[in-house]
Structure 1
Amino acid sequence: MNLALWIAAGLLAAVALLAGVTKTVVPKEKLASAHGGGWTGDASVGFVKALGVLELLAAVGLILPAVLDIAPVLVPVTAICWVLLMVGATITHLRHDEAKFIVLNLTYLALAAFVAWGRLGPESFGG
């Protein structure tokens, strides 16, 4: 179970890192023209960049606290925040009729919920 939780957290961290770097580096106009990026046309540049920074923080928060054994409770807290982020992403993609991305968001949501449940319960770092 511990290995499965590490794999799930690692996958989520990789997704968050890629998404965060993309949103903070790629210009909004280019994001808006990309497949699945139509939602950025409705958002300000600041919002898209802030979302990118939050995703970068999630990538760090899913892995480093446990690896460094510094406040490892931040791993499930970050996973819960990722669940909330994916709820928002799902709603946004629903509004833009992007079914493929809704399925992807719900997959990430399920992985994050698994990490949060596992790290708060049966495989917590505290016990």
Structure 2
Amino acid sequence: MNIALWITAGLMAAVFLLSGFGKLFVPREKMAEMGNAARWVLDFRPGTLKAIGALEIFGAVGLVLPAVLDIAPILVPLAASGLVLIMTGATILRIRRGERKAALGDATYLALTAFVAIGRFAVEPFVG
């Protein structure tokens, strides 16, 4: 189980790092041109998108770095819980916009981050 949690946390960290940096450094108009699934960015102000991107980056770092450095590894399930909240909001947004396929993808990320949160809180915690 520990290996599955590490793999899932690493994959989710990569996904959220890429997503977060995209929200920080790619203008929202350019992101909206990337396809219908990215048009949601026009519903938010640029500052809000940057805040979401920063939270995703902090969450991604929190999924892996505290455990690797063995400094406050309790931050791993807390970061995963924060990302669960972000993905819950993303899934709700997609459903409200009628983007069912994108909502399914967001719900998958939600489930994977919830797996890490529950796994590190209860099943295989880093702290005794």
TM-score band (shorter)? over 0.9
Distance in 2 between the 1:101 and 1:12 partners? 17
1:92 is displaced (CA, Å) by 1.0
1:95 is displaced (CA, Å) by 1.9
* Structure with the largest fraction of helix: 2
Aligned residue for 1:121, secondary structure, equals helix
Distance in 2 between the 1:50 and 1:58 partners? 12
4+ residue runs of structure 1 moved beyond 6 angstroms?
Answer: none
1:41 is displaced (CA, Å) by 0.8
2:64 aligns with 63
Matched, 1:54 2:25: no
Q: 5+ residue gaps in structure 1?
A: none
1:44-123 to 2 correspondence within 5 Å? 44-123=45-124
Distance in 1 between the 2:110 and 2:52 partners? 16
Distance in 2 between the 1:8 and 1:100 partners? 22
1:16 aligns with 16
Aligned pair count? 127
TM-score by length of 2: 0.95
TM-score by length of 1: 0.96
Q: Does the CA contact (< 8 Å) of 1:22 and 1:52 recur in 2?
A: yes
> Percent identity over the alignment?
55
Deviations 1:60-115 (A, max 9, x none): 00000000011100000011111111110001111222122111111111111111
